[in-house]
Every structure is written in C-alpha cells, then in structure tokens.
C-alpha cells in the first residue's frame, strides 16, 4: 500500500469488484474512443465477456487502484493482465453480442497481438496494462502515472520482462512515453476505407501499441 497526498494506492483484488465495475461503467466506457467509434451506447450494460476479463485482472496482483483516504471511495483503477506464451488471456467476445460490439472486436483485431511481444529475446512474462481510468475529481494530478509506476514496480519484482499496452487516448500515450515506453506500431483509423468506426464520435483516431522492457 502506497500513500500519496489525499489518496491511498492499493493492489486490487476480487473484493474490489463492485467498486471497480462502477468506476469503469461511469468514467471509462463512456469515453473510450474505440467503443464510441464502434457506436456502442455508453449506457449499455457491461457485457459478460468484459466482466470476465476484468475479473481476471483482479486476480493477478498487478492491478492497481487509488482510494480517497477520508471516504474510501475508489477513484482510479488500472487493470493489469498477466500474459505468457502459454496463457495469452486473449479477449473473447461473447456469442450474444450486438453489431456495435462486433465492430469493436474487429477494430481491435487489426492491432498487433500481445503475443507478438514474445518474439523479443528473453521475454517470457508480460504485464498488459489496460482499462486505466481516473475519476474526473482527481484528473490531471499524476494519479494515472503513479498507478502505472506501481504496476511496473510490482511486475518487475515478480520477474516480468515487459510491460505492454494498446492505447487510443493521446494523454495516456504521452504518459507511457514519459515513462520509457517505446511505440512499436500505430494504427490510424483515418487511413481505413471500410467505415468500421464512426470517426466523428472519436476525439482521437489512432491506437498506439507501446512496450517497455523491465
């Protein structure tokens, strides 16, 4: 547990499930660029597949959150997924999905797969950083940076060789770059001609695939 200012930083566990889901529903899924571009209604309930993915992240001991010291309210979350060559934890869409969700999956499938990182020498375990969210009340205060550094420190102690993320947020892209992540690939959806995503709904039109050796 690490304390900074008026927040306490914690490693998330399955016991944090309801608070994590509530924060993501209200402040991540409502503004995530690829979901918006795919036309997913921000008010739509979180799918069973997505819930399963988040639950997996809460068992890894590399997911990080921040709570207010005075109220205990969860105000920030970073989901960390453990990836190995033998256990890639690939996201699988549920069969009963909407057309908008199918578009989102197809858009993500255009990106290099996380398992491509195992082509690098000595890489056996990878920290996938995903679904990072900070409540607007605590934005622009370095909370996301602090969570990312804590997750990296934990992964390093656990013997991971690489931290990896795919971000469709310019602010997050700049954050990772400042922490030493290198950009391995950039997919600009403005270059696509398949009209898979509605770019008018998106504030940022590209996804950066970024990684950092630990």
The pLDDT-based confidence of 4 (bands split at 50, 70, 90) is low
Q: Name the residue among 147, 144, 129 with its Cα closest to residue 174.
A: 144
In angstroms, the CA 74 to CA 67 distance is: 4
* CATH architecture entry for 2-213: 3-Layer(aba) Sandwich (3.40)
pLDDT digit string, tens, across residues 78-110 = 999 998 877 766 555 555 578 888 888 888 888
Higher pLDDT, 110 or 1: 110
Average pLDDT, integer, range 143-158 = 97
Please answer whether residues 129 and 37 qualify as being in contact, where contact means their C-beta atoms are separated by less than 8 angstroms.
no
What does pTM read for this prediction?
0.90
Q: Do residues 97 and 27 make contact, with C-beta atoms less than 8 angstroms apart?
A: no
**pLDDT given at position 26:** 94
Question: What are the boundaries of each domain within the chain?
Answer: 2-213
- Beta strand pairing call for 74-84 and 125-134: antiparallel
pLDDT given for residue 113 in this prediction: 66
pLDDT at 2 over 50: no
Tally Cβ neighbours within 10 Å of residue 14: 10
What length does the chain have?
214
């Amino acid at each position: 547990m690490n304390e900074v200012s008026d927040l306490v930083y914690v490693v998330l566990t399955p016991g944090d499930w309801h608070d994590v889901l509530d924060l993501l529903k209200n402040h991540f899924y409502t503004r995530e660029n690829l979901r918006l571009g795919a036309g997913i209604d921000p008010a739509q309930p979180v799918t069973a597949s997505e819930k399963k993915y988040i639950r997996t992240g809460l068992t890894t001991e590399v997911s990080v959150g921040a709570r207010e010291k005075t109220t205990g309210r969860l105000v920030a979350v970073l989901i960390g997924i453990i990836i190995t060559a033998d256990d890639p934890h690939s996201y699988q869409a549920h069969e009963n999905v909407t057309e908008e969700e199918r578009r989102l999956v197809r858009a993500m499938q255009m990106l290099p797969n996380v398992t491509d990182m195992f082509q690098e020498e000595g890489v056996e375990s990878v920290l996938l950083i995903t679904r990072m969210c900070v409540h607007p009340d605590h934005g622009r205060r370095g909370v996301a940076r602090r969570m990312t550094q804590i997750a990296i420190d934990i992964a390093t102690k656990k013997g991971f060789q690489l931290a990896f993320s795919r971000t469709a947020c310019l602010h997050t892209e700049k954050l990772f770059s400042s922490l030493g992540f290198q950009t391995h690939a950039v997919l600009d959806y403005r270059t696509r001609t398949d009209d898979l995503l509605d770019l008018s709904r998106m504030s940022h039109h590209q996804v950066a695939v970024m990684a950092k050796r630990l």
